Amino acid sequence: MLKISGSITKEEDFKLSLSIIILAAGQGKRMNSDKPKVLNLLAGKSLLTHVCETATKIEHREIYIVYGCGGEQVRDSLKNSQVTWVKQKEQLGTGHAVQQVLPSIPKTDDILILYGDVPLINETSLTKLVKAAADTGFSLLTAYFDEPYGYGRIVRDSSDNIVAITEEKDATEEEQSICEVNAGFMVIKSEILNSWINSLNNKNKQNEYYLTDVVAMAVKDNIKVSPVLAESVIEVQGINTRAQLSEAERYYQIVQAYRLMDEGVGISDPSRFDLRGELEIGSDNEIDVNVVMEGRLKLGNNISIAPNCLIKDTIIGDNVKIFANSVIENSVIGNDCRIGPFARIRPDSILDNHVHVGNFVEIKKSSLGKRTKANHLSYIGDAEIGNDTNIGAGVITCNYDGANKHKTSIGDNVFVGSDAQLIAPVRIGDGSTIAAGATITKNVGSSSLAISRAEQKSVPNWERPKKK
């Protein structure tokens, strides 16, 4: 029997030193993609990022990520994270992957094994798993599936103790009927795992070194495996196909939608709502169907968002109405604004209070002052516009000369007539009027009228050409 040095009697006497291993070396052939499986996106973040973020919530000494397929792509995806990378040059199974890390882990540590393609794993389940290992040195996460196809089965003896895990491809007909499955997550004393890891063999149908074989070794050494039931089935489901990825995405989004509704947000249809980031939101807000929110967002109170809108990395004030099919990115929207339909607010734009941006208007890297309006078919790029200014239909700030961008400055209480072109760099003074159809290439002083048109001519008795 293998002895665990320093036996543990009470949880309060036990000071945890935990290393976490995330296995992320697999290729994911069933995804039919050149992209490493763990880099596929769920809710705007890679599968591996989800797992790593959950891991960081568990008190730990170090996080190790075993990578292989995709190499530098995988490392680059978490280049700002505090993790240690370990390369698995040959993908010879989960046991072999863990073997690459063990020399770096103190034998006094506990080791939590996670998987980079199981993104919905719950912090609560992992916390229970870590605590369960305090007594025996070995705990295992399990789940019950109505249709357990593809998962290793948990084999128990007459006393209900776990005695083995049998992989799907190696299971007998009787074992395949078992509905309790191995979720893959386990916590093992490093000292114990080191004593077993070199005894793993690849005498199975996949010719791989299964980490799950350590369960049988534990039984042989009279070490009890402490089972922990997962909080939910969905959290332990691995992502191996695009269909599974889609199912996980919808589950994740439904959870986000119901959480927001519990906080008082009105969502017309939770099945047609997507949050791909972090949302801070006030009260009395209404979100219609097919709205996608990405990145970091902060929304105020009494906001209505119509169907088919995309809002990304944006701050929005109170009493704002966003009409259908509008896109807002990396911008700041003040109180009492109206945007859309079919408006596009591009990055680094700032709308002050009571601003109106109407249909088919594009704002790029520009600021619009209080009560300023651009209601129809205009492009405003690299511009600074004051208060109480009206931008007519079809107005364009011509900010690009083919090589460089230039700024347009428009003061307060300016009226820019329809179909005007403002050739930057140019400044329009306060209280000025730009006549419709004008092409402005020079600065316009305050309280001035600027007209730039070819002389209109009329030819009487004109006869239109006719086909011969």
Mean pLDDT value of segment 389-407 = 96
Q: What is the mean pLDDT of residues 258-275?
A: 97
- The pair phi, psi for residue 76, each rounded to 5°, is -65, -30
Known catalytic residue at 406: no
Q: Which of 18-32, 146-160, 440-454 has the highest mean pLDDT?
A: 440-454
CATH superfamily of 13-236: Spore Coat Polysaccharide Biosynthesis Protein SpsA; Chain A (3.90.550.10)
Alpha-carbon gap, residue 192 to 190, rounded angstroms = 5
Catalytic-labelled residue, pool 50, 96, 354, 376: 376
Evaluate if residue 148 carries a pLDDT over 60.
yes
Q: Which of 394, 42, 8, 108 is nearest to 245 (CA)?
A: 42
331-357 tens-digit pLDDT: 999 999 999 999 999 999 999 999 999
φ, ψ of residue 332 to 5 degrees: the values are -120, 125
For residue 434, what are the CA distances in angstroms to 100, 317, 437, 439, 451? 71, 31, 9, 9, 7
Residue length of the chain: 468
CA 143 distance to own-chain centroid: 26
The residues spanned by each domain of the chain are 13-236, 242-450
What amino acid is encoded at 253 in this protein? Q
Query: Domain 242-450 is classified in which CATH homologous superfamily?
Result: Hexapeptide repeat proteins (2.160.10.10)
- Spatial distance between the Cα atoms of 112 and 58, rounded to a whole number of angstroms: 10
pLDDT digit string (tens) for 190-245?
999 999 999 999 988 888 998 988 988 998 899 999 999 998 899 999 999 999 99
CA distances 253 to 260, 273, 286, 324, Å, are 11, 7, 17, 21
3-class secondary structure, 354: coil
A 10 A CB-CB count for 163 gives: 16
Contact status, residue 382 vs residue 408, Cβ threshold 8 Å: yes
How far is the C-alpha of 352 from the C-alpha of 369, rounded, in Å? 5
- 12-16, 29-33, 42-46: range with lowest mean pLDDT: 12-16
Q: Are 313 and 333 contacting, i.e. CB atoms less than 8 angstroms apart?
A: no
**In this structure, are residues 403 and 385 in contact, taking their beta carbons and an 8 Å threshold?**
no
H-helix segments, 81-223: 94-101, 123-136, 173-176, 190-197, 214-220
3-state secondary structure of 211: helix
Beta-carbon-side half-sphere exposure of residue 181 (alpha carbons within 13 Å):
24
> What's the pLDDT at 16?
57
> Per-residue pLDDT tens for 130-140?
999 988 899 99
Residues facing 189 on adjacent strands: 110
Q: 3-class SS at 405?
A: strand
Do β-strands 426-428 and 439-440 pair in parallel, antiparallel, or remain unpaired?
Answer: unpaired
User: Judging by DSSP bridges, how do beta strands 41-42 and 45-46 pair with one another?
Assistant: antiparallel
